[in-house]
Structures are given as C-alpha cells and as structure tokens.
C-alpha cells in the first residue's frame, strides 16, 4: 500500500513483518520536521537538564531551608517524597493524553516549565510548609513528570532501530544537570541570599525547559527511518547487532494488552525496588556523610560525583545494552547497585574519604542506569506507538519508591540507624538482580534466537 501523508506530502509505505507488525517507511526525518532527528536527542536532553535540580540537588539545600523556614528534616525528606510521587503519578495519564493527540509535546513542555518555576518560588516564599508541599511537591513534581514522560519517549519514537544509547543519553540529563546546583545550594546559598538564589534557579530552569520544548515534534505512528529496512538484516553492523540483541516488539501493544502480560508487572516491581534504592541514596548520602564526620565540601563533592556518574552512566549503559542486550545489562546493574550500598556504609564507617567517593560514584552509576534500561526495554517488549503509556505504567512504581526511598527511608534510619538502612537497601538491590533474570519479551520466549526477517523491503506489504 502506498499512501500520501498530507502533513508532509511525502509518499510512504506500510510494510508488515512476519509477526504482523506494521512499519511506516519512506519518509525521512527532514521530510517530517525539516531537520535531522538528532535534534530530538539534543532538545529532550536539554529539557531533562532543566528539571534535574529539583530531585538531585534538593537535599543539598536542606540546611538552609531548615534554618530559613524552620521546617524539620522530616518535612524536607517528605517534600522530596511527595515531589517524586507526583512526578511519577503523571507519567501514565500524560502518556495517554500525548498518544491520543490531546496533549501536544510543546504544550506538555510549557506546562512542565511553569510547574518548575512554581516549585522554586514556593521554596523561596512559602509562609507555611503546606504551601511548599503544594508548590514544590505537587506543581513542580507534575511539571517534571510532564517533561520526563515527553522527553524520554520522544527519543524512542525517533530512534526505534537503536534506542538504548540515545534514550540513555537523554535520561542522563535528568542527573548531571543538577551538578552546579549541588555546589550552589551547599556552598553558596545561605539565609542572606536564599530567596534570590531560588528564584534565579527557578527562572533559569523554566527557560531551559520552555525553549527546548518549543521545538518538539512527534513522528507519525509506526514510523521507521527510511534508510533502515525493518524486514531484513541491516548492512550497518551496529544496527544489526542492536536489533539482534534487542528485537523489536512482536506487535504494538495497547496499554490494556500490555497490562495483561505478567512481565509488565514484574518490570514494575523491579523498578520499584531499584528506584527506591536510588532515591534513598539521593536523600540520605549527604546527611550520612556529615554524620560520619566528612566535611561539607567532601559531601557535596561526593553528591556531585554521584550525579555526574548517575547521568553519564545512563548514556553508557544504554549504549552497552544495545550491544549485549537489555535484560543482561539490567542484571549487572542491579548487582552493582546493591553492592554499592554496602560499600557506602562501610566506607563511611571506616572514615575513608577516597572509598566513600568511589562507592558514591558506583551507587550513582547503578541508580541512574536503571531508568533508560526500563524505558528502552518497555519499547522493545511492547512497541513504540504506545510507549509513553506503557512506560508510564512501569514508571508509576516510582509513586511508591519515592515515598519509600525518601519518607520511609527516614523512618528506617530512625529505627535501625544508617547501618540497618543501607544493609536493607543493598539486599533489595541484589534481590532485584534475581528478579531481572525472569524478564522476557511477551510473545517471544527466546528473544535471542530471533533475527530480522531476511526478505527484502516491500515483499510483505500491507
């Protein structure tokens, strides 16, 4: 079948593989949006940078916020937990609205920019902690969720043939974009300037998100790059290896169909555990380091290294997963993440600064790597067309992991001290590696035995 899309006036074909999956081929990225698709990596990366400080740098501002507003440490940790709750809660409904066409990408990003600004304004001027919960916890959390859901899933749509590295790179912006703010909040912001600093940061982050989002554009449903034949092995060894290790989904699953597969809920629970460990580390590494006697500058450095490696690890691990397979990579990451928690605990108790910095980086690497892996794996297992909704279901586990990692983490630390809390976190990480062994694509029990259909393009036209 040859059709004309009147939005681009470029002929395209819809071809079907042996599993019945339909691919839309013939249009280039320039035909669709007037520029190379690499911009749908660069712009989402910038958008993710704009929301990163709210999660990864927030606890670095704990001391100043406590002194300025007389909020207890418990309120500050729960503020972060509420922010994570709303950031994750919006993922699925935002995905549904995005894929139905009722929420254009540009609109989602502009709303996200507004939420980001409101969050920082509430931290600066809140007359009561309740206003901070509404402004930062809810508004900023929802705004970040809109940006996250829009940006991460945008990449998979534009790079369906090799999404791991690109998804990881964009996801990395969610971590290392916070690095300058960790130092800013730890070493510069104080009672004399906190309002000006928070307002300036809010305006800057709002502008970055809004400008990046203004140029977002989705490809058509089922789009496949014109230069890559979806029905036969590619001549490019990188693309061929990526598709062999991570074959495309057997069909485009709707959210209802995906929800009926056990593997989606296994992925949900695995992300719940690993994301909870990541958020626990973000929330408690700074206070743990201070309690162990490390200077504030060392703790800030450790947190910054954690954020840098967390972000860089997302891109690196996505690139690795394209080569060795998403599931095998996830198993290794869970082992690394769990082991690192024991390392952070031991290094702090030993008072070894170099070991503490190293374990912090390793923990950051593992904690960051899980998110692009699950984002890419969801598209691999259930298809790209509904990935915003399907990944929204998987990502919704962060609703609980945020509260558990931050809020309940404070309860566990209070009851069992840091020793018990870090041992528990490490054990959960190792158990997650066992669970990851059982994650396999629905409809394809032996994913590694599947190779692309060798028939030439067009032989199986719909």
pLDDT of 66-80, one tens digit each? 888 888 777 877 788
Residue 296's pLDDT band (cuts 50, 70, 90): low
Q: Which of 94-98, 100-104, 298-302 shows the lowest per-residue confidence on average (mean pLDDT)?
A: 298-302
**Of all residues in the chain, what percent carry a pLDDT higher than 90?**
33
Average pLDDT score over residue span 290-319: 73
Residue 311's pLDDT band (cuts 50, 70, 90): confident
Average pLDDT score over residue span 21-26: 86
Average pLDDT score over residue span 426-452: 77
Average pLDDT score over residue span 322-337: 92
Provide the greatest CA pair distance for the chain.
Answer: 71
Tokens 């923990």 belong to residue: 363
Q: Is the pLDDT of residue 51 over 80?
A: yes
pLDDT at residue number 333: 93
Q: Is the pLDDT of residue 192 over 80?
A: yes
Q: Which residues are CB-neighbours of 204 under 8 A, at least 6 positions away?
A: none
pLDDT at residue number 134: 95
Average pLDDT score over residue span 184-209: 91
Q: Which of 122-131, 184-193, 362-371, 443-452 shows the lowest per-residue confidence on average (mean pLDDT)?
A: 443-452
Say if residues 51 and 150 touch (Cβ distance below 8 Å): no
Residue 2's pLDDT band (cuts 50, 70, 90): very low
- Cα–Cα nearest to 338, from 278, 427, 271: 427
Residue 295's pLDDT band (cuts 50, 70, 90): low
DSSP 58: G
pLDDT at residue number 393: 92
In a 3-state reduction of DSSP, which class is residue 197? helix
Residue 37's pLDDT band (cuts 50, 70, 90): very high
Q: How many helices (H) and strands (E) does the chain have?
A: 20, 3
pLDDT at residue number 190: 86
Average pLDDT score over residue span 368-395: 89
Alpha-helical regions (H) of 184-325: 194-213, 237-245, 255-259, 262-291, 296-324
CA distance 387 to 376: 9
3-state helix, strand, coil in the chain (%, to 5): 75, 5, 25
Reported pTM: 0.77
DSSP 218: P
Q: Residue 330 corresponds to which tokens in the numbers above?
A: 């996830």
What values do phi and psi take at 103, rounded to 5?
-130, 90
CA distance 145 to 397: 13
Q: Is the pLDDT of residue 4 over 70?
A: no
Q: Is the pLDDT of residue 10 over 50?
A: yes
Q: CA angle, 164 as apex, 158 and 169 as ends, to 5°?
A: 85
What pLDDT digit, counting tens, does each position of 405-419 carry?
Answer: 766 666 777 778 788
CA distance 67 to 73: 10
Domains defined for the chain, CATH in brackets: 2-444 (1.20.1250.20)
How many residues does the structure list for the chain?
Answer: 462
CA distance 225 to 239: 12
- Cα–Cα nearest to 426, from 281, 324, 310, 272: 281
Q: Which residues are CB-neighbours of 39 under 8 A, at least 6 positions away?
A: 33, 215
Q: How far is CA 258 from the centre of its chain?
A: 20
Q: Which residues are CB-neighbours of 137 under 8 A, at least 6 positions away?
A: 79, 82, 83, 85, 86
What pLDDT digit, counting tens, does each position of 241-276 carry?
Answer: 777 888 888 888 999 999 999 999 999 999 999 988
pLDDT at residue number 460: 34
pLDDT at residue number 112: 96
Average pLDDT score over residue span 91-114: 91
- Cα–Cα nearest to 150, from 207, 204, 210: 210
Q: Is the pLDDT of residue 453 over 60?
A: no
Residue 450's pLDDT band (cuts 50, 70, 90): very low
- 228 vs 148, which has greater pLDDT? 148
pLDDT at residue number 113: 96
pLDDT at residue number 406: 64
């Amino acid at each position: 079948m040859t059709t004309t899309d009147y939005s681009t006036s470029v002929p395209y074909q819809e071809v079907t593989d042996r599993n019945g999956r339909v691919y839309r081929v013939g249009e280039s990225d320039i035909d669709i949006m007037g520029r190379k698709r690499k911009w749908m990596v660069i712009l989402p990366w910038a958008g993710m940078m704009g929301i990163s400080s709210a999660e990864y740098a927030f606890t670095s501002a704990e001391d100043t916020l406590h002194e300025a507003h007389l909020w207890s440490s418990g309120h500050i940790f729960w503020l972060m937990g509420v922010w994570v709750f709303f950031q994750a809660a919006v993922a699925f409904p935002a995905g549904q609205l995005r894929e139905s066409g009722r929420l254009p990408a540009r609109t989602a990003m502009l709303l996200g920019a507004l939420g980001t600004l409101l969050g920082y304004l509430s931290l600066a001027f809140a007359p009561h902690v309740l206003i901070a919960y509404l402004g930062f916890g809810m508004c900023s959390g929802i705004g970040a969720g809109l940006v996250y859901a829009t940006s991460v899933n945008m990449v998979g749509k534009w790079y369906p043939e090799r999404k791991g590295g690109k998804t990881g790179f964009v996801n990395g912006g969610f971590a290392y974009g916070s690095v300058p703010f960790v130092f800013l909040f730890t070493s510069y912001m104080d009672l004399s300037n906190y309002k000006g600093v928070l307002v300036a940061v809010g305006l800057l982050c709002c502008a970055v998100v809004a400008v990046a989002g203004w140029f977002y554009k989705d490809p058509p449903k089922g789009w496949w790059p014109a230069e890559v034949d979806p029905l036969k092995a590619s001549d490019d060894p990188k693309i061929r290896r990526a598709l062999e290790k991570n074959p495309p989904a057997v069909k485009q699953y709707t959210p209802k169909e995906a929800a009926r597969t056990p593997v989606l809920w296994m992925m949900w629970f695995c992300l719940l555990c690993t994301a909870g460990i990541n958020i626990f580390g973000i929330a408690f590494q700074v206070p743990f380091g201070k309690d162990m006697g490390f200077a504030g500058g060392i703790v800030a450095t450790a947190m910054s290294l954690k954020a840098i490696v967390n972000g860089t690890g997302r891109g690196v691990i996505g690139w690795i997963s394209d080569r060795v397979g998403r599931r095998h990579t996830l198993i290794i990451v869970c082992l690394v993440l769990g082991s690192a928690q024991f390392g952070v605990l031991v290094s702090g108790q030993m008072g070894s600064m170099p070991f503490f910095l190293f374990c912090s980086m390793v923990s950051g690497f593992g904690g960051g790597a899980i998110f692009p892996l699950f984002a890419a794996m969801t598209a691999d297992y259930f298809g790209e067309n509904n990935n915003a909704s399907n990944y929204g279901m998987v990502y919704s586990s962060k609703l609980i992991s945020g509260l558990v990692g931050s809020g309940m983490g404070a309860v566990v630390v209070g009851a069992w001290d840091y020793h018990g809390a870090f041992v528990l976190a490490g054990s959960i990480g190792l158990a997650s590696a066992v669970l990851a062994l059982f994650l396999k694509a629905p409809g394809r029990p032996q994913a590694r035995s599947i190779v692309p259909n060798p028939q030439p393009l067009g032989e199986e036209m719909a």
